[in-house]
Chain A
């Protein structure tokens, strides 16, 4: 049973395994009725208007208005595309996995309706390679939808066509960046493209392309069914709707919780996720995945969980993934771990990200080894500052923002760790192997 603090919309009937099937989706939540109505009765502009009026903001991280994004696509005869970004790879984020696993048809129906809004004839779900089970589920659901005539040629006798392909990624975090996703989908190395041109104008195979996150698209059927005003009945003025929030880290009940946007963060962390483990205290948390600047418990716990409140606090809601660090967590190690992730995943195309992530990792390693001085902390901060806003895509910033926040907010802890390690080097932290020779033939 849902917790009283939850508002189940997307996860309505989520526990029922029948929801996964087309029949179950129809019976339990009246699925595909909206698509049928939209395809038969509603014009493209009306769908667009409904989406724009709803104020639905992208659930993938950037929080950009979905309707507005769809309206950027030029009209005309050219081939247009819709891509569903299911490459959910941000540390701390696992809500799309649950949405696809439990209710794949909701996503497919959302894609079908969004394709109508974007006038796209081809749609792709780019799902991260590790989501093997979810991809299988989607494959099965897509096959059912084709069979039932909700996809393919002449859908429901409306002379509209939509091809939907589930494409499995090969495991690079960068492919969740929308333009890298397009390159990967085209069979190239998944590297971000220069913007502009934005995908809405020139995306997949050079055609106008609408790219949306799984959760964003999953919201579409109900918005079109019940109207923008119904949707705006949830959440806040600037963050309407519900949000599936992944809570992980040092909490008693980690998991996905669907809540109205704007509820107190404390309700999420304590009410739903059960608060810290016995005897521990919460020190800080990432409010929106590992790329969001960490907030200390004092700063963040009583903020409303909304796009605007998080932005005002100097952080971001991102994909809506809270990672909680309790008092046993070493912030310098958390910073290093975060930096290592982005260093490992940096594609290497632009200099600030490629070199900035690498340099930051090396400096943080020196910090935890005790081979750094407080001046190095200044350099680390300055390097994060040098990365921010200078990169080709947001991956560099995704490391710079949390690392900069950690160094700024927990400087005494960094200095303490540095001093302690300098006094007593912890052997398993020392990286004293000879420098690796890359690309050597032998």
Chain B
């Protein structure tokens, strides 16, 4: 590119280093293998603050020492980091930092992996001259229920405060008081509440911020680190698991700029105790709870599936690796002779649309968000559905001046940074995208304010939620038109980026778990989609179902219909990590490995194949999922050689045309986008149909409030099965507008019953000023008050009543 900075040469400690002009000296030196010690500097946090003074260096021509973290390099710059003058400064700063540091290393969790220890060892004076009293604080105290703060150990490096101010933008952490009395805290000592706040424990260079989940659990010399990928949401953040005695004790970030930018959310960080939860399916079992031997379990499952009859078994896949998904579809299509399989909770677009949306030139990378000129968030709230992308969008606005527009049913966490916001009614995503497309084309529609920002904006990244398809199943069809109007295919750095409902939705689709597409989105005999599977089970058209890592009774719409369907089914095999309402209905329950235990690959929504590596040991009764699928296949009469991950990976990359030739080495530690591989062109071409922009719809005038649903970040097993996260378990809240609340005589906090037909959900009223009139929202996935119970596949209207009016 023409605007990239020119390369210059600088000399650091006699070493010539080539680096881009304007790069910060500290980074340039590091790339040239010269380490300059730092505390406050952390590139992830944005602009340097130059507060700790640890990185002072001598630059020829400048009389005073300069902070290398904040000095941009110039051509011919000559830098010294080891002269007497610099050593004097380094010794001085280390000594100052230790003046008030308690040096309680023997009992400090950070001991052994502490930057302050390392820098003291490497650059400190080596002796202490301080005999004076150190400052004292009450300690440790709860900064939040998950993070403890020890203010005596704090060296006031500003990192955690900058994280709160500039990364998660919650502005809760502040430095209070001043001088050496300064301390990190929150207003009025309130707990620090943010779904990202665990990150401050990673960036703290001392033992001041520690996780309650890890305090006094291990020392650095009796742990190992295992790099893998978190599978709790589609962000697929790269993590490093701390293992002691073969069990996960801690989750740390593993920086991958292409995926997570070095941050993880609290669900990913603290959601590891569920691996050891009581509810874990630790061995195969039959209906009613009798534990089965593996051989018997496989035989029983095979017998049941065989008895269901050829072509009478369906499969639904959710939390699975690419290989597992591929093997399940092989089992179903190849062994059981059935085309009925799906990997979605709702009916979705057909294969042609899936193919169009998968075209490499249309798809944006996560990194494209950083340099986008404009971002459209469409039909999703990243904070709930892919939290780390919420941070990424904030970063793009803050550091790159990206312009944001938001079009959703429900108010989002990103609204505050948006130039224009549109709220469409639940179920109207398809209509809205049509109007937006027209508006970008120059027509005056309801979406014109958004179109003004997006039209001719340059690089536009569209973050769209799979949720837009929930009601019509076809809203994503119109994305193709929208993409054309925005010229995404021809613009480098622009594109579509999906935020799917399930972690590995893209991988499952590409592995062939779709009713109308085989591996690699190839053409295949069309089978039933998820909703058809449900009806067919109910009607007896299908008699058996394999549920792999899915819990339809929690996660799928129309809970009652699913309950009926699973009850009606002759034979249900449930592969599950934990016991849940669905496993209770299964004839055979087979345990699944967690992402800490299994080996496999995932495909990120942007097409990046990432490797999950086993870090912890499996419970005794749990076997490799791939091995189990192989054994099940064999028991059904089809002997397979695919019984381990390397073989499964090979089968996958052979089976999916555009994965051909991708190797484990390509994936490495940071993953590999298939769009960058040699076989990307093997993606089948879609048949282009007529996709005219939708017609305007007549306003619905029926009674009641239109119900919109969302999935709260904390509504799910990860919250319930992890004791440290339980306090975050959300209560069902009925969000509605002030006007509707007034009309219904409701106030925030009232207990109400929300009814649709003969179904109802109890909730607390929450008046929200950004909720449009006539609409209300409930969260899916909340036990005993699940919004899914009210859904029936189309737009739903609900009535709200107060219990005392119901009770006689």
A interface residues, Cβ below 8 angstroms from B:
172, 174, 189, 194, 343-352, 354-359, 362-363, 366, 379, 386-387, 389-392, 435-441
Contacts and interface: CB of A to CB of B under 8 A. Distances in A.
Contacts of B96: 351-352, 354-356, 359, 386
B49 A194 contact: yes
Contact of B53 (A189, A345, A350): A350
Nearest to B47: A194
Interface stretch (B134-142, B194-202, B445-453): B134-142
Contacts of B136: 435-438
Contacts of A366: 132
A435 B52 CA distance: 26
Nearest to B181: A438
Given A343-B179, A346-B180, A441-B189, A351 B53 contact: yes
Interface in B171-191: 175-183, 185, 189
Given A352-B53, A441-B141, 18 more contacts: A343-B179, A343-B180, A346-B179, A347-B179, A348-B180, A349-B49, A350-B51, A352-B92, A352-B96, A357-B180, A358-B179, A386-B95, A387-B92, A389-B64, A390-B65, A438-B137, A438-B177, A439-B137
B179 A357 contact: yes
Contacts of A350: 50-53
Given A348-B156, A389-B65, A194 B70 contact: yes
A440 B50 contact: no
A361 to B, nearest CB: 9
Nearest to B129: A379
Nearest to A382: B129
B278 to A, nearest CB: 35
A347 B175 CA distance: 10
Nearest to A345: B179
Given A391-B53, A439-B138, A348 B182 contact: yes
A386 to B, nearest CB: 3
9 contacts: A348-B177, A352-B92, A354-B180, A355-B96, A355-B100, A386-B89, A438-B135, A438-B151, A438-B183
Contacts of A356: 96
A386 B99 CA distance: 13
Given A354-B180, A358-B180, A362-B132, A440 B65 contact: no
Nearest to A362: B132
Contacts of A391: 53
Interface in B63-88: 64-65, 67, 70, 88
B337 interface: no
A441 B89 CA distance: 37
Nearest to A347: B178
Residue from A194, A343, A347, A436 having most chain B Cβ neighbours under 10 A: A194
Interface in B123-173: 129-130, 132-133, 135-138, 141, 151, 155-156, 158
Residue from A354, A386, A440 having most chain B Cβ neighbours under 10 A: A354
B178 A363 contact: no
A354 B183 contact: no
A441 B139 CA distance: 11
Interface residues of B, number: 46
Contacts of A387: 92
Contacts of B181: 348, 438
A349 B183 contact: no
Contact of B130 (A351, A354, A359): A359
Q: Which 6 A-B pairs have the closest CB atoms?
A: A386-B92, A348-B182, A358-B180, A355-B96, A362-B132, A194-B50
A348 B138 contact: no
A351 B155 contact: yes
Given A348-B181, A348-B182, A194 B137 contact: no
A268 B50 CA distance: 41
A418 to B, nearest CB: 15
Contacts of B53: 350-352, 390-392
Contacts of B151: 438-439
Contact of B179 (A354, A363, A389): A354
B297 interface: no
Nearest to B101: A355
A390 B138 CA distance: 31
B656 interface: no
B92 A437 contact: no
B56 interface: yes
Interface in B661-712: none
Contact of A392 (B50, B97, B138): B50
A175 to B, nearest CB: 11
A391 B181 CA distance: 18
Residue from B88, B133, B158, B178 having most chain A Cβ neighbours under 10 A: B178
A386 B70 CA distance: 21
Contact of A440 (B137, B155, B176): B137
Given A362-B132, A366-B132, A439 B93 contact: no
B311 interface: no
A209 to B, nearest CB: 18
Given A347-B178, A441-B138, A359 B99 contact: yes
B614 interface: no
Interface in B296-313: none
Given A358-B99, A359-B130, A362-B132, A189 B180 contact: no
B783 interface: no
A351 B178 contact: no
A355 B98 CA distance: 9
Given A348-B175, A390-B93, A392-B50, A355 B137 contact: no
Residue from B51, B64, B176 having most chain A Cβ neighbours under 10 A: B51
Contacts of A392: 50-51, 53
Contact of A390 (B89, B130, B135, B180): B89
A9 B95 CA distance: 50
A194 B97 contact: no
B37 to A, nearest CB: 12
B89 A363 contact: no
B32 interface: no
Nearest to A387: B92
Nearest to A392: B50
A348 B179 contact: yes
A363 B185 CA distance: 29
B177 A344 contact: no
A87 to B, nearest CB: 16
A249 B795 CA distance: 83
A386 B89 CA distance: 7
A358 B49 CA distance: 22
A348 B97 CA distance: 12
Contacts of A354: 96, 156, 179-180, 182
Given A354-B156, A438-B136, A194 B67 contact: yes
Contacts of A389: 64-65, 89
B730 interface: no
Residue from A172, A174, A347, A390 having most chain B Cβ neighbours under 10 A: A390
Contacts of A355: 96-97, 99-100, 180
Contacts of A390: 53, 56, 65, 89, 92-93
B48 interface: yes
Interface string B20-50: 0000000000000000000000000000111
Contacts of B129: 379
Nearest to B56: A390
Contacts of B175: 189, 348
Nearest to B92: A386
Interface in B536-555: none
B384 to A, nearest CB: 31
A439 B185 contact: yes
B130 to A, nearest CB: 7
A335 to B, nearest CB: 16
Interface string B51-64: 11110100000001
A369 to B, nearest CB: 12
Nearest to B100: A355
A179 to B, nearest CB: 11
A391 B51 CA distance: 8
